[in-house]
Each structure stands twice: as structure tokens, then as C-alpha cells.
């Protein structure tokens, strides 16, 4: 599978971004506490236009808390959060979305029995008026849904078909295309390959590349190092709410990244402990 993904993205590296360009997102020493529980203990990262920042960490590393902080679900307890160089303090996910921070969660927030176009425009339907009456402009909705899906490589012949008839990878495409169409500048992808099969997983890098070419920044959250290494430009590793480091792809190979994420020292200590008891 790794070979398939690496082949899919060969030669698709994004052009370098000028150092003087303000990051789309920058967080500096972000902390988040829930009573006595410290979920984030000084996390820093940046995301620039046209790049994929991969956020890696095992279960309990703090990935979900960081996502919810970036997307406006949680307010940070401390640190700085900047969007295009301006400090922000989002009070709700709607404020984050209005600022161009869109999150595609694992469950995709879709209704399987509704059509592709209805899911695409849910809550933002194009409207036609006839006298005192208003109704959804289905012709416009179907056309836009087809066009936006085609932009990232999915040919939808009938946008009126139920979204539940699509594969998992295609539903991911609907969610991504929807976020891009409605003005996302940064796309946060929460474990986009976790529920997909091998063939569907190999489609995800292509979608991400198409999005990145349009100048968006992407935060790709995963615990799968191979998936991350296939698509990422830079990698930030979390462990127990702390940043272990941020690396350009040229600075670290996949084995070193795997060891860092898995906690190489902890694994060595465990190996010695088990070896000593045998």
C-alpha cells in the first residue's frame, strides 16, 4: 500500500513558499487544560499555503484536542493562535470556518440517503424564488457539485444519486470539495484514511495534491506514518500533549519518523524489561 501511495504522489511536491509569506496558521506554545488534566502542554506548528503539514501521534497524544482548538471548538488555555499573521480567539466553529479554517472529520457529517448535491450544499443551499415562495435551485446545485468534484478528480455523472452509494474515498472527496468551494484556506483532515480500504486509501493523496495546487494549506492528521510520509511536506510529532519536533521531509526518513512517533526510548526500555524477565 505504501508503494502505491508513494507512486501516486511522485513528482507532486509543492513549490517552495517564500519565507516572507505569513503562514496561513501559526500556533505558538498552545496549551489546553480541562480542570487538572493537561491535554496540550506547549504545542507549536505552522501551516503555509500550498503545503501539507502532517500531524502525527498515537492515541492520547493530543491530536483531537489540537484539532478542536484550531477549529474553534475549544479555546486554548494559553499560547498564541494566529491566522495569516493576525491573533485570533475563535468562540465557535462557525467563526473558524468564516476565517477559512475547515475541518473534515472522520464521520464526514453526511446523510447517506440524501443526494450528493444536497450533502454538498447542506445549510447553504442555492435558492430560487417564485413570488413569495423560495425553493432549492437543484439545477445549480447539481452543476456546481459535479464541477467541484471534477476539479479534484472525481467524475460524478448524476449528482442526484444518494451519497451513500459512493465509496468511502469518494465521500471524502465530496467533503473536501465542499470545504474548498465554500472558501477554505486551511483544510484539516482528521484521519482521512482510517476507515478506507487499500484501493480507496491510494486515492487520497491525489485529492490532497489537487487541493494543495489551489493554494490551500492542509493539516493531515494521522497515526499512520506511511500514509503521512507519502503526502507530507513537513511533519510535527505529538506525544502526550507536547511537540517532539517538526521536520521537513528532506530532514527525516520514514523509519526515523516511525521511531520518533512510537517513542523509541519507551520501546527500548520495554524490550529490556521484557528481556530481563524471560
pLDDT at 130 over 70: yes
Task: Reply yes or no on whether the pLDDT at 146 is more than 60.
Answer: yes
Average pLDDT (83-100) is 92
The CATH architecture annotation of domain 2-10+21-109+184-271 reads 3-Layer(aba) Sandwich (3.40)
pLDDT in the model for residue 204: 73
For position 273, what pLDDT does the model report? 63
Q: Are 221 and 19 in contact (CB under 8 A)?
A: no
Main-chain dihedrals φ then ψ at residue 98, nearest 5 degrees: -65, -25
- What is the distance, to the nearest Å, from the Cα of residue 113 to the centroid of all Cα atoms in its chain? 25
- Among 29-33, 91-95, 118-122, 198-202, the minimum mean pLDDT is found in 198-202
Cα-Cα-Cα-Cα torsion 182, 188, 205, 19, nearest 10 degrees, comes to 100
- Counting residues of the chain whose pLDDT is more than 70, the rounded percentage is 83
Residue 266's CB: how many other CB atoms inside 10 A? Answer: 10
- Is 13's pLDDT higher than 70? no
Judged against a pLDDT cut of 50, whether residue 16 lies above it is answered with no
pTM for the full predicted model:
0.80
Domain boundaries, the chain: 2-10+21-109+184-271
Residue with the three cell numbers 493531515: 220
Collapsing DSSP states into helix, strand and coil, what is residue 149?
A: helix
Per-residue pLDDT for 14 more than 90? no
Q: How far is CA 215 from CA 16, 119, 167, 218, 247, in A?
A: 12, 25, 27, 10, 21
The answer on pLDDT for 186 being more than 90 is yes
278 pLDDT above the threshold of 70: no
Amino acid at each position: 500500500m505504501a508503494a502505491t501511495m508513494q507512486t501516486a504522489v511522485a513528482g507532486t511536491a509543492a513549490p517552495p513558499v517564500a519565507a516572507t509569506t505569513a503562514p496561513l496558521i501559526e500556533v505558538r506554545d498552545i496549551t489546553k487544560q480541562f480542570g487538572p488534566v493537561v491535554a496540550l502542554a506547549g504545542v507549536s506548528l505552522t501551516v503555509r499555503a500550498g503545503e501539507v503539514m502532517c500531524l502525527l501521534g498515537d492515541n492520547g497524544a493530543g491530536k483531537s484536542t489540537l484539532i478542536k482548538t484550531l477549529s474553534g471548538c475549544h479555546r486554548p488555555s494559553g499560547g498564541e493562535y494566529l491566522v495569516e499573521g493576525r491573533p485570533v480567539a475563535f468562540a465557535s466553529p462557525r467563526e473558524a470556518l468564516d476565517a477559512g479554517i475547515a475541518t473534515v472529520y472522520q464521520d464526514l457529517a453526511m446523510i447517506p440517503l440524501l443526494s450528493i448535491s444536497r450533502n454538498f450544499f447542506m445549510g447553504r443551499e442555492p435558492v430560487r424564488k417564485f413570488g413569495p415562495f423560495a425553493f432549492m435551485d437543484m439545477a445549480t446545485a447539481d452543476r456546481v457539485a459535479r464541477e467541484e468534484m471534477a476539479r479534484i478528480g472525481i467524475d460524478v455523472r448524476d449528482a442526484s444519486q444518494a451519497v451513500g452509494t459512493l465509496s468511502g474515498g469518494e465521500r471524502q472527496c465530496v467533503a473536501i470539495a465542499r470545504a474548498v468551494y465554500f472558501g477554505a484556506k486551511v483544510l484539516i483532515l482528521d484521519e482521512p484514511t482510517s476507515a478506507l480500504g487499500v484501493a480507496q486509501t491510494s486515492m487520497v493523496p491525489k485529492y490532497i495534491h489537487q487541493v494543495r495546487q489551489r493554494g490551500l494549506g492542509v493539516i493531515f492528521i494521522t497515526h499512520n506514518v506511511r500514509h503521512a510520509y507519502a503526502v507530507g511536506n513537513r511533519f510535527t510529532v505529538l506525544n502526550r500533549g507536547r511537540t517532539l519536533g517538526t521536520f521537513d521531509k528532506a530532514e527525516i526518513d520514514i523509519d526515523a519518523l516511525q521511531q520518533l512517533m512510537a517513542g523509541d526510548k519507551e520501546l527500548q526500555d520495554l524490550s529490556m524489561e521484557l528481556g530481563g524477565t524471560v
